């Protein structure tokens, strides 16, 4: 009997998750420079052609790894906004705090950020400065979440996107190069957001 499309999709997703789990472990343990497609394929127990078919290039593997990690954060951020149903400034500030505190315990992010001291910076642009997959996706998703949660009809889509982008960039900046405690950083972000909302 032929396998159902849903079963095939589930199996492919399980395989993809296994590939990303293996790559994540390698980054955390040895750094991105130690990750290569042959090693990932061997650890997963598949051939290189299968790995390339499912993932693509090493850059595609990096993008998929970061995209999955970003998705986990975006889910947590949406849940954080829900805890502040009527106060957008408190909600967005809490989202920044959630991101900073959770990232502090995230072994992948710590590995990527600490690797810059050893010159292994291949994953940094995607994490910090490239429009995709982190920055653009985070801004788009958070803008939608904020609009859905708080309406903010007095703000145009462009104005709201700009406010959210300011928060995301500030959060990523502090994550990448912290200069003070999380508490102080969150207070700074909250103050900036208050000023931006008043000016909007």
Give the CATH number for residue 19.
1.10.10
CA distance 29 to 84: 38
Residue 1 has pLDDT above 80, yes or no: no
Is there a single domain that holds both residue 133 and residue 169?
Answer: yes
Is there a single domain that holds both residue 28 and residue 71?
Answer: no
Is there a single domain that holds both residue 23 and residue 96?
Answer: no
Task: Identify the pLDDT of residue 161.
Answer: 96
For residue 85, give every residue at least 6 positions away whose Cβ sits within 8 Å of its Cβ, in sequence order, or none.
91, 149
Is there a single domain that holds both residue 52 and residue 77?
Answer: no
Task: Identify the pLDDT of residue 90.
Answer: 96
Number of structural domains found in the chain: 2
CA distance 175 to 179: 9
Is there a single domain that holds both residue 52 and residue 85?
Answer: no
Is there a single domain that holds both residue 172 and residue 81?
Answer: yes
Q: Among 56, 78, 101, where does a domain finish?
A: 56
Q: Terminal CA-to-CA distance of the chain, rounded, Å?
A: 61
Is there a single domain that holds both residue 47 and residue 82?
Answer: no
Is there a single domain that holds both residue 46 and residue 68?
Answer: no
For residue 79, give every residue at least 6 positions away whose Cβ sits within 8 Å of its Cβ, in sequence order, or none.
none
Is there a single domain that holds both residue 90 and residue 181?
Answer: yes
Is there a single domain that holds both residue 46 and residue 80?
Answer: no
Determine the structural domain holding residue 188 and report its residue range: 64-199
Number of Cβ within 10 Å of residue 157's Cβ equals 9
Is there a single domain that holds both residue 131 and residue 44?
Answer: no
Q: Among 56, 72, 103, where does a domain finish?
A: 56
The phi and psi torsions of 86 (rounded to 5 degrees) equal -120, 0
Is there a single domain that holds both residue 107 and residue 45?
Answer: no
pTM of the model: 0.84
How many CA atoms lie less than 13 Å away from 32 in the CB half-sphere?
A: 26
CA distance 125 to 63: 11
Residue 162 has pLDDT above 80, yes or no: yes
Task: Identify the pLDDT of residue 198.
Answer: 84
Q: Residue 127's pLDDT band (boundaries 50, 70, 90)?
A: low
Residue 156 has pLDDT above 90, yes or no: yes
């Amino acid at each position: 009997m032929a396998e159902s499309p849903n079963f095939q999709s589930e199996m492919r997703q399980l395989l993809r998750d296994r590939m990303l789990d293996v790559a994540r472990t390698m980054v955390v343990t040895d750094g991105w420079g130690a990750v290569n497609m042959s090693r990932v394929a061997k650890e997963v127990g598949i051939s290189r052609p299968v790995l390339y078919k499912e993932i693509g290039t090493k850059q595609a593997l990096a993008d998929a790894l970061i995209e999955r990690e970003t998705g986990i954060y975006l889910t947590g951020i949406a849940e954080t906004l829900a805890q502040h149903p009527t106060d957008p400034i408190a909600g967005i500030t809490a989202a920044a705090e959630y991101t900073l505190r959770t990232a502090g315990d995230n072994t992948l992010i710590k590995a990527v950020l600490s690797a810059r001291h050893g010159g292994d910076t291949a994953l940094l642009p995607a994490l910090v400065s490239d429009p995709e997959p982190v920055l653009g996706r985070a801004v788009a998703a958070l803008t939608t979440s904020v609009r859905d949660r708080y309406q903010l009809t007095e703000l145009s889509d462009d104005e709201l996107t700009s406010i959210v982008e300011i928060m995301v960039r500030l959060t990523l900046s502090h994550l990448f190069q912290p200069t003070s405690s999380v508490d102080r950083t969150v207070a700074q972000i909250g103050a900036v957001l208050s000023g931006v909302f008043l000016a909007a």
